[in-house]
Structure 1
């Protein structure tokens, strides 16, 4: 019988897949990162326990084009500063990806809140524009002008926090206990530039990052980076405490009834 590719792989084939994955070359991305201070109450509101706010109510947006061999990828992230015990890191709220391959792997393995979307990084001379778009709305747009080179930072590490879970078959709660994942990224930078510009947040029912307003822009940079990542389960979490936040992960039609917060004038 001819080989049926949906059939079980042999032990040799499975081992070859693991070996190939362990020998991936450095993959460099070109992108834009923006960092700003926002409303501390808004940051506290989006953090599921056991995550807690840090001393700085920061939002970090990254918009990148990743040079995967034969498979270029647009990748984005909107994250808030968070802490888990003594570990400071970032809690991503949404991670738009342009291809399903990146989306499914990140969600299923690490619990990353990835969604299919449009990710744009454009540069014409010193002018730079980067945007995250879903459902026809560029809900985050970073724009500006390159104003000079920056010193290259030393290799660094950062921790992202994810919640990995499976919604229950009957629609009530989860199938199994959800877990909190620490994902550690080791990053190197080979080009870094300062951008003078601004961040525009647009109203979106499904990606309401406009609830995290730009109160003080810390920095915008453009650069080329490469990183690797490893994850571990830090702890099992209280399913009842996590459940009210699960809507962050999905395009829930009921979100259309969620009014934006009233802003003080």
Structure 2
């Protein structure tokens, strides 16, 4: 009888898949990174406990394109500075991805807040335009011109924090205790350039990053990078404390009611 591909794999096949996943070649991306200072209260409001605001009220946007074994991938992230147990890092609020495969692994394994979206990085000469878009709205746009090469940093360790959870089957709370995941990346850079430009945040009911007001632009860079990734559960968290924040993960139509207040 012909083998049914949805059928069970053998133990040898399972182990071979695990071993193969650990031997991937370096995957290099070309990406734009913009960092700015926002209001301290804004950062404090979006951080679920036990995360605390970082040393500075920073927001970081990463907009990258990747040639993933001949298949183009757009990957983005909007994150705020955060701290846990003395470790400084970033708490991503939304991570648009252009393919389902890139989305699923990060959400299911690490708890990353990935969503399908449009991610573009375009460069013509020294002019660069990078965008994150969903539901027809380019809610983040970074535009500018390359102003010169920067020294290459050594291997840099970077930390992101995620909350991994499953909403309950009956719609009330979670199935099991949510956990806080600390993800560590060791990043290598082979090309890095400074940019002069601007960050535009557009209003979106589903991706309300416009609330992360640009008070002072710290830097914009464009570079070619690769990194590894490992994660660990560092704490089981209070379900009741996390519940008010889970709308961050989903396209909640009620966020339409959260539009910024405007004076009459």
Superposed structure 1 runs of 4+ greater than 3 Å apart:
none
Partner of 1:151: 151
The aligned length equals 263
TM-score by length of 1: 0.98
The unaligned stretches of length 5 or more in structure 1 are none
Partner of 2:168: 168
Partner of 2:202: 202
* CA displacement, residues 173-217 of structure 1 (integer Å, 9 cap, x when unaligned): 100000000000110000000000000000000000000010000
Partner of 1:214: 214
* CA displacement, residues 81-117 of structure 1 (integer Å, 9 cap, x when unaligned): 0000211100000000000001011000000000000
Partner of 1:43: 43
Contact 1:211 1:261 in 2 (8 A): no
Question: Are 2:85 and 1:85 equivalent residues in the alignment?
Answer: yes
* Aligned-residue offset at 1:262: 5.4
TM-score by length of 2: 0.98
Partner of 1:245: 245
* Aligned-residue offset at 1:261: 4.5
1:261 and 1:171 mapped to 2: Cα distance? 30
1:262 and 1:39 mapped to 2: Cα distance? 18
1:100 and 1:218 mapped to 2: Cα distance? 33
* Aligned-residue offset at 1:259: 2.4
Corresponding residue SS for 1:67: strand
Partner of 2:53: 53
1:125 and 1:170 mapped to 2: Cα distance? 54
2:158 and 2:261 mapped to 1: Cα distance? 31
Corresponding residue SS for 2:64: strand
